[in-house]
Structure 1
Amino acid sequence: MTLPPSRVLVVDDVAENRDLLLRRLRRMQLTDTAEAANGREALEFIRREPFDLVLLDVMMPEMSGIEVLRALREDGRLTDLPVVMISAASEIEKVVECVELGAEDYLPKPFNPALLAARVRAALERRHLRMENRRQLERLTLELDKARRLQIGMMPDHVAFDPARWDIAGRMEPALEIGGDLYDLFEAIPGTLCVAIGDVAGKGMPAGLFMARARSLLRAGVLQHVALKGALPRPSEIAGLLNDELCENNPDTTFVTLFVGLLTLGTGEIEFCNAGHVYPLRVEPTGRVEEIVTPADPALGVVEDFPFADHRATIRPGETWLLSTDGLGDTQNPAGEALEIERVLAFVSAVAGQEAGPALDHLTAAARAFADGAPPFDDVTLVALRRLA
């Protein structure tokens, strides 16, 4: 393997040793070099100019190689700058100390040309590999950050549907850069709101891509049905369409749980289908909270041609329906204890009667407080449908 262009600093108080090392480096086609006769001069070089490798003698007057290494460690330079210690066989204990301080390797005196070449080459290859990995990580981080912003941007940011009668809000917090949760709120026909919330199995990029596919199918399926047939589909038909499409080309049987409903804004009537999703919560102004339990249907993407069921209910004036993914109840604290449904019900009861947006903010804040710094266990997505009149 040909080494990429590299700059090497040779540090030794003996001029003959420096000259020998420099000649050996030139034979390796490493001609961009510098030399220092003591540790203090070496530090000045390193703080002033970039290097890819330092060959550093252990025992030197004024400032030893160990002292230089300590200074480089304090400066935080050893992460990017490999240092190979040069030592006599009798200095092995000091070499061990240097390795513990962060030295990359060591070379014994007198220099063996083959060993010198091998260790210099290995140190430079590792250094350039680390730098390439860092560049790739930085690029990936930037791409994931952009993907996260794009994913958040897919969620509706304007939910002022019939604001005299309804207060509606949604929130999504991915556990990783990219999440597998989704929610959508859009007017299928004038006066009827399509409400959906879903949770793709897994987290990260694969779940995020599957989520984007499911959300696109959902919105396109509803609006196409209205355009072609002049009427709304049943929620069970929406679920069936998504299920059939998601079962196709799905070798890993990735699935998504989904609650999808059609809400008539004028009356508060909601017809919905629940495909393996968390039960919605009915929140009364008094603080009473109950789960809207319906017979279980499977998640989407698992069983082809499944006959999903429709259910009906009414959101009464003053009530709020809270839709969530299971990430809320699965929130864990540092002890591994989950939030679970009992605490979720208590948290929801505490925000009864609040405006939809602040209520969701308080719920996510309460979940974060319970987690007490533990990393997110799962994506958390919430939708509140609060009927004013």
Structure 2
Amino acid sequence: MADQLTGRILIIDDSEHNRYLLTRQLERRGHSIATASHGRQGLEYAQREPFDVILLDLMMPEMDGFTVLDQLKRNPQTHHIPVIVISAINEIDDVVRCIEAGAEDYLTKPFNQTLLYAKINACLERKRLRDSEQAYLNAIRYELELGRRTQADFLPTSLPHLTGWEITAAFVPAREVAGDFYDAFLLPDQRLVCFLGDVCDKGVGAALFMALTRSLLRAFIEQAATNGTDPLRAVAMTNEYIARHHRANRTFSTIFCIMFEPQSDLARYVNAGHPEPLIIRADGSVSHLITTGPAVGWIADARFTIETTTLRAGDILFAYTDGVTEARTRNGEMFGEGRLLSTITTAYKQTLRLDVIQQAVMMYTGQPQPVDDLTMLAVCRCRTD
């Protein structure tokens, strides 16, 4: 025999006799009982105190059971409480109406004691299961929120300020935790380093891999600068570490890393399998920064070449993850580079408004949240005139 469950039960019935009878029977089973003589009073009790089950009469003055049930199910505080409708045998059509409106079960008058206990026990079991599931979901939400906060610590809290330069970034995760990352910082000799990456997966696994990749890349860049070697070699060093020690995960990341000489027009970069960043020239022409090696973490001993470009007054570097161009409408049409370039033209007002691009992408998809992480990084070389 199953263990007898006990709970807090609210009886809403205008019949004093029914309230007395039900209270006496249920208290013998160890339940805690509260009673209400009409619907309005029952609603007030349900909103004020926690209950495990509600026994609800249909025919009552002031507010009938249909109205009470409707308001209970509309209220987020009470919609999860199981409701057992109390009815006369000739009210079976009304019972069906209540079941369709969300009632858990029904009892007919006069009450059969065995059925009464069985129905309440069944409701309590379902309520306990629902409460356990809700507690589990709340724990998961808490862990994800903690993960989101922790991951946020891996992203820069502020971007470098350089006279004659403007650096902006936008980061819109598709879930609580993301696989995209970016950074921008100054080396001790005042060279500016920016990088942006995208882990191939989504969710918690991608977020953990993102934290590893971003931390390794930043650490190797700073180490190389301190040792007097080329900071862009950090991409290859990150690849070697991951490919040798984490290859079993079969996870990789595309990375674009660029280093500027702020006192000149020169910039050097590595593009490890990343969507080709754009340089929008002051004259309106567009250059692509080509791929110079494979994605990071996939192939040990991979070769990454370093390419050069320039960023002159009025030019803009725009790097992004594929969540921008591969954002899709409901029928599968991609945003694409053509729309991106058109939007950039609209978004350029002395500097590049990344919020305008983000809004254009979201309006195009018609979705409240992106399906894939959406990350952008812009470096503008300000005009001197």
What TM bracket, shorter-length normalisation?
0.7 to 0.9
- 1:195-210, aligned counterparts within 5 Å? 195-210=194-209
TM normalised by structure 1 equals: 0.86
- 1:236-385, aligned counterparts within 5 Å? 237-247=233-243, 248-294=245-291, 297-352=293-348, 354-356=350-352, 359-385=353-379
Q: What's the offset of the Cα at 1:203?
A: 2.6
| Range with greater deviation from structure 2 (280-289 or 312-321) | 312-321
Distance 1:344 1:71, change over 3 A: closer
Q: Could you tell me how far apart the structure 2 residues matched to 1:351 and 1:66 are?
A: 55
Q: Could you tell me how far apart the structure 1 residues matched to 2:381 and 2:139 are?
A: 45
Report if the CA contact (8 A) 1:263-1:271 is conserved. yes
Question: 2:158 aligns to what?
Answer: 158
Report the residue type matching 1:344 in the other structure.
Answer: L
Q: Could you tell me how far apart the structure 2 residues matched to 1:294 and 1:63 are?
A: 71
Q: Spell out structure 1 runs of 4+ moving beyond 6 A.
A: none
Q: Could you tell me how far apart the structure 2 residues matched to 1:164 and 1:68 are?
A: 66
Q: Could you tell me how far apart the structure 2 residues matched to 1:63 and 1:173 are?
A: 48
Find the residue that maps to 2:318 and give its secondary structure. Answer: strand
Q: Could you tell me how far apart the structure 2 residues matched to 1:361 and 1:332 are?
A: 18
Report the residue type matching 1:316 in the other structure.
Answer: R
Q: What's the offset of the Cα at 1:323?
A: 0.9
Identity among equivalent positions (%) equals: 36
Q: Could you tell me how far apart the structure 2 residues matched to 1:106 and 1:303 are?
A: 65
Report the residue type matching 1:55 in the other structure.
Answer: L
Q: Could you tell me how far apart the structure 1 residues matched to 2:18 and 2:163 are?
A: 86
Report if the CA contact (8 A) 2:274-2:291 is conserved. no
Q: Could you tell me how far apart the structure 2 residues matched to 1:63 and 1:160 are?
A: 64
Distance 1:128 1:257, change over 3 A: same
Distance 1:273 1:96, change over 3 A: same
Report the residue type matching 2:279 in the other structure.
Answer: R
Distance 1:290 1:8, change over 3 A: same
Q: How many residues align?
A: 381
Q: How well do the aligned residues superpose, as a CA RMSD in angstroms?
A: 2.9
TM normalised by structure 2 equals: 0.86
Q: Could you tell me how far apart the structure 1 residues matched to 2:6 and 2:247 are?
A: 47
Question: 2:30 aligns to what?
Answer: 29
Q: What's the offset of the Cα at 1:180?
A: 1.2
Question: 2:222 aligns to what?
Answer: 223
Provide structure 2 residue ranges, at least 5 long, that are not aligned to the other structure: none
Q: What's the offset of the Cα at 1:233?
A: 3.1
Report if the CA contact (8 A) 1:332-1:376 is conserved. no
| Range with greater deviation from structure 2 (241-250 or 319-328) | 241-250
Q: What's the offset of the Cα at 1:371?
A: 3.1
- 1:109-188, aligned counterparts within 5 Å? 109-161=109-161, 163-188=162-187
Report if the CA contact (8 A) 1:69-1:98 is conserved. yes
Q: Could you tell me how far apart the structure 2 residues matched to 1:353 and 1:87 are?
A: 70
Provide structure 1 residue ranges, at least 5 long, that are not aligned to the other structure: none
Distance 1:93 1:351, change over 3 A: closer
Q: Could you tell me how far apart the structure 1 residues matched to 2:310 and 2:40 are?
A: 80
Q: Could you tell me how far apart the structure 1 residues matched to 2:372 and 2:176 are?
A: 12
Q: Could you tell me how far apart the structure 1 residues matched to 2:213 and 2:43 are?
A: 58
Q: Could you tell me how far apart the structure 2 residues matched to 1:268 and 1:133 are?
A: 59
| Range with greater deviation from structure 2 (113-122 or 265-274) | 113-122
Q: What's the offset of the Cα at 1:41?
A: 4.8
1:8 aligns with 2:4: no
Distance 1:27 1:302, change over 3 A: farther
Distance 1:39 1:266, change over 3 A: closer
Find the residue that maps to 1:25 and give its secondary structure. Answer: helix
Distance 1:354 1:232, change over 3 A: farther
Report if the CA contact (8 A) 1:289-1:348 is conserved. no
Question: 2:83 aligns to what?
Answer: 83
Q: What's the offset of the Cα at 1:75?
A: 4.9
Report the residue type matching 1:343 in the other structure.
Answer: R
